[in-house]
Structures are given as C-alpha cells and as structure tokens.
Structure 1
Amino acid sequence: MARSEVGDGLQSAMPSIWQHAHDLEVQYPNHSDWSLSDFALCARSWLQHLWRTHLMTFHYFAYGSNMLPARLINRCRSAKLLGTGIARDFRLDFTKQSKDGSGKAALRAAPGAHVPGVIFEVDLAERSTLDQHEGFGYRREDAFVVEDSVPGSTRMTNTYLATLSDPQVKPFDWYLATVIAGAMFHKMDDAHVAALRGIAFIEDTDKERKTRAAAIAAMYAHGIDDYRTLLEWPR
C-alpha cells in the first residue's frame, strides 16, 4: 500500500475513530478499573476497526450510474452498499463531456441545493480501477463530506467531480436509464426520479457499444428487461 494511501485512510478515519472510542466508553463505563490486559484488548479492537474500515477500504459516494449496485460491482467486485446520502450545496446535471460525445452526470456547486446519492464501501486496492472508469473529465475528491441516512450524521467519502463541461451535450438513453434505475432501486424520493425522467437524452445508435451493453446487463440484473420503459419518450 502506498504511503499516500495510508495517509488518506488515516485522514478519513478520524471522525470514525472518535465515534468508536465513544462507543467503547459507553459499552465499558467502568474502564478506570481495567487491568493492563483489558486496555490491551481494547486497543487491539480499536486498531482492528481502524485497519479494517479505513486502511483497507474507502467510502465512495455515487450519484450517477454507479448508484445501481450491479453497475458498480461489475467495476469493483468488493463494493458493499452502506446506504444513501446527500451532497449539500450541489446540483446535478448531465453536462460532463464524455469521450463518446454524450453527457454524463456531474455535481455542480449550487448553494442551498442538494443531490441524493449512494454510499458504498470499496477495497482500497480497487480505487485505481474506479479511477480508470471515471477518469476522463473527472477528478477524484478524497474528502467529500455527505450526510448519511442517520439524521445529523456525516461521512467522509471519495467522489468524482467534473472538470469538463459542455451545456450542449446530452446523455445517452441507456446511461440516463441506468441513473434512473439506481434512484428507483434505492427508493429515492419521487421528485428526484421525476427530475431525472425530465432530462433530455439522445438515442445511442451504436448498438455494439461496450459501455451500453454493460449498462443494459446491470439493469437486467436488477430485473429491468427493457431499459426504455424507464424513460419518457419521445425526446
């Protein structure tokens, strides 16, 4: 493991370390009476928690097509669903210019707005793989704070922010359908799903495109036989 990755893991671990310490305090209120061996066992538990959850894995906030579990797992086999989250002071659009000429999901700064997404735990060894999939036109943000499903609780995550923008591009039909499928799978609110369905898209005429086939397969794995039923036609 690279030294920089260890440092990233320690930085993102700090809020959880204090939470874990608090949990131990609650669980063992009479710790002042502990023996040296008791403290050793506690320290071992603490270090195991730190290593397992922050030096071997990272938390990833997905807000586009990777919200659909089968889509992300096809790219990162270790991905484990933790729950939903919200990115505050951002809005969602599809103006990130892609290599295939279409638009992809992007978070744009917008005070007062918010974007729902999904939090996954992924092995750190697979972060470079995710970088490759998300790389073109994105930069990885390693200290992206989102609200998780527990009221008042936040979580430090990795996510990808767009570096390229073209207001003229539109998402392919299958790509937008994958985003909608992810939102529906996680039972996101009707307003968000309706907003996604209101996005203008273009039909992909390249039926042999590998990324298209992979997205359709991911939707099929979640019981969606025809992705076109998720979209509002015509466009």
Structure 2
Amino acid sequence: MSSARLRARVQTARSLGMGSLAGHRLEFHLHSRNDGSAKCDAFHTGRSEDVLHGVLFGLSADELSVLDRYEGRGQAYARVEVEIIRADGVRVLAQTYRALHVEPGLLPYDWYKAHVVNGAREHGLPPDYVAQLEAVPEVVDRDVLRRARELAIYA
C-alpha cells in the first residue's frame, strides 16, 4: 500500500483512493523464497464479516508485467480479478495478488510490515484497521543492508 514502495517498482503508479474487499482478510502467510520471511496475501475467506481494506492503484499496462515480476506471479502469487468497493460506495473490478501457497505461523520482517503500515496510514485507512496491522508480530531483519535499503525510501 505504500506509494513510495510501489513507485520504486512501477513509476506510473498513482493512487485512485481507498477500497475494501469483502470476504477477504490480509494475512502474512506467504513464505518468501527470496528472504524467508512472511509476505502479505489477500486471503479469500468467503466470510462476509472479513473485510480487507486497501488502496486502489492505477498504472500503465506495460508496467503490469514489471509488477508481476516483482510479485512473483506464477510462482508466489496468482493475479486475480476481484470486486472492490471504493470509499464512495461504487463497485469496481480490480486486480490483486493471491498467494499460491500459504504457511501459517510466519512473521514478516520489520521493514516489510513498515511498508504495509506506512501505506495504510498514508492513505487514511480506518484507524482500527491500522491498529490491527501495527499489532502484527514482526521480526527484525538481521540483514542490516537489506533493512536499510528497504527503509531508505522513507528518508
């Protein structure tokens, strides 16, 4: 959800506002093959009480394949079409990434969780939802260079 992180990957990305995805919840249960930590997933529960809050972004069509590579489409995630309810109540079709394989009990690195929380704050997601994200347990990345590189976008 962090605009800075997304634009570091795909420069044309622009926020189109907040949205919610019913029957889903944000889970940190994708095992990253790159660094071994937990990554996020728009986990489909099918339960009406589960609502994932997030941000709609627009980007150029040619950059979608770039984002697919960053997200590990086909290996870590599948890109799926979902119906989002925008903040103004309008329903729109959008695409999100859904984990292909989940592994409960994983923890995200502190810098990764910071990307998620910073994005949630940046875009004004509901305070109770931001608090839930802040409460997710994390682990400090012992790779200090990677940690510094990831957090440098906020300096």
TM score, norm. by length of structure 2: 0.92
Alignment of 1:31-110 (within 5 A): 67-99=1-33, 100-110=35-45
1:200 matches 2:137:
yes
Following the alignment from structure 1 to structure 2, what is the Cα–Cα distance between the partners of residues 140 and 114?
19
Cα 1:213–1:139 change in 2 (3 A) is farther
Residues 108 and 137 of structure 2 are in contact (CA less than 8 Å); yes or no, is this contact kept in structure 1?
yes
RMSD between aligned residues: 1.2
1:146 matches 2:84:
yes
Residues 77 and 97 of structure 2 are in contact (CA less than 8 Å); yes or no, is this contact kept in structure 1?
yes
Residues 181 and 219 of structure 1 are in contact (CA less than 8 Å); yes or no, is this contact kept in structure 2?
no
What amino acid is the match of 1:88?
A: A
Q: Which runs of 5+ in 1 are unaligned?
A: 1-66, 221-235
Following the alignment from structure 1 to structure 2, what is the Cα–Cα distance between the partners of residues 214 and 74?
12
Following the alignment from structure 1 to structure 2, what is the Cα–Cα distance between the partners of residues 114 and 193?
13
> Of 47, 61, 67, which aligns to 1:130?
67
Partner of 2:121: 184
What amino acid is the match of 2:32?
A: S
Following the alignment from structure 2 to structure 1, what is the Cα–Cα distance between the partners of residues 108 and 6?
19
What amino acid is the match of 1:215?
A: E
Higher relative contact order (CA 8 A, sep 6+): 2
Please state how far the C-alpha of 1:125 moved relative to its aligned partner. 0.4
Moved over 3 A (4+): none
Please state how far the C-alpha of 1:168 moved relative to its aligned partner. 2.4
Residues 90 and 107 of structure 1 are in contact (CA less than 8 Å); yes or no, is this contact kept in structure 2?
yes
Please state how far the C-alpha of 1:208 moved relative to its aligned partner. 1.8
CA deviation profile, 1:23-60 (whole Å, cap 9, x unmatched): xxxxxxxxxxxxxxxxxxxxxxxxxxxxxxxxxxxxxx
Following the alignment from structure 2 to structure 1, what is the Cα–Cα distance between the partners of residues 64 and 43?
23
Please state how far the C-alpha of 1:180 moved relative to its aligned partner. 0.6
Please state how far the C-alpha of 1:214 moved relative to its aligned partner. 4.3
Please state how far the C-alpha of 1:137 moved relative to its aligned partner. 1.2
Cα 1:117–1:214 change in 2 (3 A) is farther
Cα 1:157–1:191 change in 2 (3 A) is same
Residues 109 and 140 of structure 2 are in contact (CA less than 8 Å); yes or no, is this contact kept in structure 1?
yes
Following the alignment from structure 1 to structure 2, what is the Cα–Cα distance between the partners of residues 214 and 140?
27
TM score, norm. by length of structure 1: 0.61
Please state how far the C-alpha of 1:215 moved relative to its aligned partner. 2.8
Partner of 1:216: 151
